[in-house]
Structure 1
Amino acid sequence: MTTSHSGPHSGSAPAADSAIEKRVLKKITRRLIPFIILMYFINYLDRTNLGIAGPGGMNEDLGMTATQFGFAAGIFFFGYLLLEVPSNLALHRFGARRWLARILISWGAVASLMAFVPSPFWLYVLRFLLGVAEAGFFPGIILYLTYWFPTSTRARATALFMLAIPLSNVIGAPLSSWLIESGNSVFENFAGWRFMFLIEGIPAIILGIVCIFYLTDRPRDAKWLEPEEREWLALKMEAEEASTAQTYHYPVKRSLLNPRVWALAFVYFGAVYGLYALSFFLPTIIAGFQETFGVEYTLLEVGFITAIPYAFGAFAMYFWSRHGDKTGERVWHVALPLFIGGAAIPVALYLNSPFTTMIAVTICAMAICATLPTFWPLPQAFLAGAGAAAGIALINSLGNSAGFFAPYVTGWLAEATGTQNAGMWVVGGTMVAAGIVTLILKAAPRPDAPEAASASGRAVE
């Protein structure tokens, strides 16, 4: 190329690159995101439908106290935490298509078996095994998105995937309630909550089989892209991964011991603590409006009311993450909703009507939903390759330990004090503490590669 022609070419190259980027991102979003949302929808539904089953007859049939219910909800995360890191390393090694299919089929089978538990003990056993079966699914998807979406669009892609969380409550709570009521009316000797568990486990098995044939492991394997699109995407993602890996030399062991990874795990713990406290106990809190405010709801009405905060949460999740990608700011997009949500949830307990209480709960749900997808670009800014697989899995694993502590501590405090107040104050305090740690990380020195400061600035600030 001669100097005299450099002007036109330099102007047209970025335009051509921008055009192919838009075209490729549109194709991979259409191809992958709806299927991933559906998988996570079923995953989150099978994980949290216990919250509907408890007040829907399970606690009474099995003779469970609030503490026992909290333990049943939380023991899932023991199995989940034990295998999270090795499961994600296996996905990195063997490919997402086969490994995610294995996870889906095994968790679907265990979820359906929960329909036949005869006692709290066997419920504990199957909830533990459900965690073992599901281990690696969420961080596996987060890792999978790093194979397909450039850094500049990753928060939005993560938000689209994580829309399954509020959607599983918007659609799942009424669906689970309807299945329980339908089961109660159709079967004499098979409780409705058992029917719900049986039916809601089957889609995971079906999706696992479909996953083997539908998902594509890496961009270079994407036959559904044109050759030049496939080559552009593969080179783009390989260049980003190589840049991160060159700047931050974090093999698996070093990723697992990195203080920044552990601090981010606590931030995620705070967000997840609020998420699971609401997921498992919001139906119980709404059912308690009968005693507190003198109103009465059917189980199906409880399901629909439970869905309201998460409907607003879905909008907050998408538009807040979109704003984060547009501005490039990351830290305040995590800290601010943590502060708002942490303040809103205890306030809800001191309001004088179901309507005002639900407004505060909805604000909290919106804040939690806004935090979750904007969080994940933070660790992705300095982890790559197998180190990313291990670090992301560790953050998710430690963060999701809140899935045990939130329902167990909330249930224990409710039983010990006779109200939900103390438990919700703990939820709020944990979220605020996570927001503070996020701001401390912003002020802390960069990860320990000196040359990384300028390269990582836009991603972590």
Structure 2
Amino acid sequence: MSLTTAPSLAPEPAAAHAAARENAVYRKVAWRLLPFLMLCYVVAYLDRVNVGFAKLHMLGDLQFSESAYGLGAGLFFIGYFFFEVPSNVLMHRIGAKATISRIMIMWSVISAAMVFVQTTTQFYVLRFLLGAAEAGFYPGMILYLTYWFPSHRRARMVALFMCAIPVSGIFGGPLSGFIMESMQGVAGLRGWQWMFLIEALPSLLVGVAVLAYLDNSIRSARWLTQSEKDLLERNIANENATKGGHMTMRQLFSDRRIIKMACICFCTVMGQYGLTFWLPSLIRQAGVSGALHIGLLTAIPFSVAVCSMILVSRSSDRMRERRWHLIVPFCCGAAGLALSAIFSDNVVLSLAALALAAGGSLATSPLFWSLPTALLSGAGAAAGIAMINSFANLAGFVSPYMIGLIKDATQSTNLAMFVLAGVLLCGAALTYTVPARLVNK
């Protein structure tokens, strides 16, 4: 009896040991890459959305309308749209270090130039150029993670990376409010001008640090042993063998899967930027005054979002289930936005609703990217991810501009919140139509 049972029992300790070793290698990679990538995205997102805080004073100082602000905030994504695919394809060819560093240094200079804005035309031009400079950064980071992590580990890694969005809100909100109030009138500059100048400096410094810290590939990582490199490369190669590889631009634009992914991503971005660009204004609309006080309160919804993104993505990776882990946050985000409009005149209830909206809408983005990255690899992934993201980021133009138009027309953002809630529900419905067998990996 012992002779027949021993062979079946022997592999179990070996398999457990191999699994433990593999987990240890991926922990090593995660600790090496994720904190730095998050830092990059924190300073990126801060420079992208700090215009939402500048709005509290800038509109009055420069006599801009709400719709002019919304148009300027959204023009960022028009520049993003035109330059994103070329930037991501270039990164696949020349490597992450040169691409990410170039992007960060360029946008820090343009963001600092917002100090000199006096007219709507100058505002529009600089926002467009900021988007053009930053194009390729976010999809480049998503692509970079596919070089290191297989799909069944990637949702949690993307979520940790994207926690930079709410983290930038947790720290950036109070920081922006503090700078605007404490630096008002110093050296003849307004508080919002100092905010743009000071918050551009971290991007410049981190952009230079990218050249020394990031590795373009597993093979070039000197902090990995040869056996660790072999394990990582083998896992990525095995996964890529089951995906679509090279795709022409014509194939990308005609692939129904890619089109559906772009539409789902459009819905995630509508909710994400509708919330982040207008959150300070929504809190002020509820009856809160003072830039610092508003900044401190914005940290609450963003803190909820951090917890939501980590917990939901961890559950998705553990269960290897993608669709319902995306549908539920879509629905929660929609409910939160709708409730924020219903309770818009009550600070406590409005803030609770905005926390639900942030927890839901911001959790959709990292969960979404586990879908297309489960389908594409290589150059196809580089172009496909960029195409999906460039189309979806048009929502970053539509969302703030739409809210600004509605605010000018109705003197309230309530109708806009209901519209955004409807868009998130559309995202949930589209996600439901994605075959589970394609993405549950």
Question: Which interval holds the TM-score relative to the shorter structure?
Answer: over 0.9
TM-score scaled by length of structure 2: 0.95
Superposition map of 1:89-128 within 5 A: 89-128=89-128
Partner of 2:350: 357
Partner of 1:175: 175
Q: Give the superposition deviation at 1:442.
A: 3.4
Superposition map of 1:57-456 within 5 A: 57-184=57-184, 186-187=186-187, 189-245=188-244, 250-290=247-287, 296-351=288-343, 353-442=346-435, 456=438
Distance 2:267 2:191 in 1: 34
Cα deviation digits, residues 59-101 of structure 1 (max 9, x gap)? 1111100000001100001100001111110011111111111
Q: Give the superposition deviation at 1:186.
A: 3.0
Partner of 1:458: 440
Partner of 2:29: 28
Distance 2:115 2:358 in 1: 29
Deviates more, 1:58-67 or 1:337-346: 337-346
Residue 37 in structure 1 maps to residue 38 in structure 2: yes
SS at match of 1:148: coil
Aligned AA (1:193): W
Partner of 1:446: none
Cα deviation digits, residues 402-459 of structure 1 (max 9, x gap)? 110010000001111121111111111111111111112238xxxxxxxxx6xx4633
Q: Give the superposition deviation at 1:4.
A: 12
Aligned AA (1:40): Y
Partner of 2:47: 46
Distance 1:4 1:87 in 2: 57
Distance 1:42 1:438 in 2: 31
Question: Is contact 1:20–1:229 with CA below 8 Å preserved after alignment?
Answer: no
Q: Give the superposition deviation at 1:156.
A: 0.3
Partner of 1:449: none
Q: Give the superposition deviation at 1:371.
A: 1.3
Distance 1:327 1:264 in 2: 22
SS at match of 2:222: coil
Aligned AA (1:196): M
Cα deviation digits, residues 107-128 of structure 1 (max 9, x gap)? 1111111111121211111110
Distance 2:53 2:5 in 1: 71
Distance 1:15 1:91 in 2: 37
Q: Give the superposition deviation at 1:384.
A: 1.0
- Aligned residue pairs: how many? 437
Deviates more, 1:129-138 or 1:262-271: 262-271
Question: Is contact 1:251–1:386 with CA below 8 Å preserved after alignment?
Answer: no
Gaps of 5+ in 1: 291-295, 444-452
Q: Give the superposition deviation at 1:197.
A: 0.4
Question: Is contact 1:255–1:388 with CA below 8 Å preserved after alignment?
Answer: no
Aligned AA (1:323): S
Gaps of 5+ in 2: none
Q: Give the superposition deviation at 1:231.
A: 1.6
Aligned AA (1:50): V
Question: Is contact 1:256–1:391 with CA below 8 Å preserved after alignment?
Answer: no
Distance 1:274 1:377 in 2: 18
The 3 A distance-change label for structure 1 pair 356 and 383 is same
Distance 2:246 2:173 in 1: 44
Distance 1:329 1:12 in 2: 28
Q: Give the superposition deviation at 1:251.
A: 4.5
Aligned AA (2:286): F
Distance 2:17 2:248 in 1: 36
Distance 1:27 1:112 in 2: 36
Aligned AA (2:405): W
Q: Give the superposition deviation at 1:11.
A: 3.6
Q: Give the superposition deviation at 1:289.
A: 2.5
The 3 A distance-change label for structure 1 pair 42 and 264 is same
Q: Give the superposition deviation at 1:252.
A: 4.6
Question: Is contact 1:252–1:387 with CA below 8 Å preserved after alignment?
Answer: no
Aligned AA (2:89): L
SS at match of 1:219: coil
Aligned AA (1:54): K
Distance 1:257 1:392 in 2: 15
The 3 A distance-change label for structure 1 pair 252 and 234 is farther
Distance 1:457 1:198 in 2: 43
SS at match of 2:118: coil
TM-score scaled by length of structure 1: 0.91
Distance 2:396 2:131 in 1: 11
Distance 2:280 2:214 in 1: 35
Q: Give the superposition deviation at 1:239.
A: 2.0
Partner of 1:15: 16
Question: Is contact 2:76–2:129 with CA below 8 Å preserved after alignment?
Answer: yes
